Structures are given as C-alpha cells and as structure tokens.
Amino acid sequence: MTTRYDTLTHLRPGGAQPSKLLETAPNPYADRDYTIDISTPEFTCLCPVTGQPDFAEISILYVPDQRIVELKSLKLYLWSYRNEGIFHETVVNKILDDLVAAAAPRRMEVVGTFNVRGGLKTVVTARHEGGN
C-alpha cells in the first residue's frame, strides 16, 4: 500500500545515521497558522579552533506553510553536527537556512543556548519571516 509518506527514507529500518538530509511531509492544516515548537537539550558540535565539544539546547519554533519538518530526519540532521567544527553563530544560522530551504515555513526562529565555556554563556537567535 502506498501512502504519502513513502518517500520519508529516515523512517525506514536502518535510517539511523547522521545525515544532512532534511525531509518534510505535507502540512495537514496548511489553511491555518499554528506553531510547532521543537527542542533538544542534547545538541553538540565542536569548536573549530580547539576541537573541544560545545553543548547546547537548540529550540526551533515555526509556523508551517505547505510542509512540516519530519522529526526523525531533524534528529539525524542535528546529530550530523556532532563531529563538525563550527562556531555557535554559524551553526544556528545554518540550521535556520537549511530548515527554511527544506520546509519554506511562514515564520521560523532557531535559538541555540550554549553551555558555559570559558566563563561565558552564549545564546544565538536567528529568525526568518516568510518572503525573506
């Protein structure tokens, strides 16, 4: 039996590897504004200078349009940064850019709240308003 979700490759057995592929599904309520709020306290990436791990909570808040982000693909996408050297500002903006490219939301905000390192706490917020 074929469903409209057959193209979601990460939901198949063996699909649990880090991946930059963000998959989407049709929004069943595209005729209304509603908010989807997703967060993970387990995000990690590496400092591009020292190679030391950086830990953060990543929060994604968006109003979808025609597509919604498939959650397992998002999990694997975020996991793909685990061994990548990247600055806090860059990774938050890259996540926003990639999610906007994949799902074309009406509005989206990505917030990275990074754990204290060297006595400094960093919070990076990036926003997209539809049409930008």
Q: What is the pLDDT along the chain (132 residues), one digit of tens a residue?
A: 555 666 666 555 665 789 999 999 999 999 999 999 999 999 999 999 999 999 999 999 999 999 999 999 999 999 999 999 999 999 999 999 999 999 999 999 999 999 998 899 999 999 999 864
Tell me whether residue 98 is one of the annotated catalytic residues. no
Annotation marks residue 54 as catalytic: yes
pTM summary value:
0.87
What pLDDT, on the 0 to 100 scale, is given for residue 132? 45
- Bridge partners (DSSP) of residue 63 are 107
Predicted pLDDT of residue 10: 54
pLDDT score at 130: 83
Q: Which of 33, 47, 97, 98 is catalytic?
A: 47
pLDDT of residue 15: 55
The token duo for 102 is: 């994949």
Give the 3-state secondary structure of residue 93. helix
User: Torsions phi, psi of 30, nearest 5?
Assistant: -65, -15
The domains located in the chain, with CATH, are 21-129 (3.30.1130.10)
Q: Which of 6, 54, 65, 98 is catalytic?
A: 54
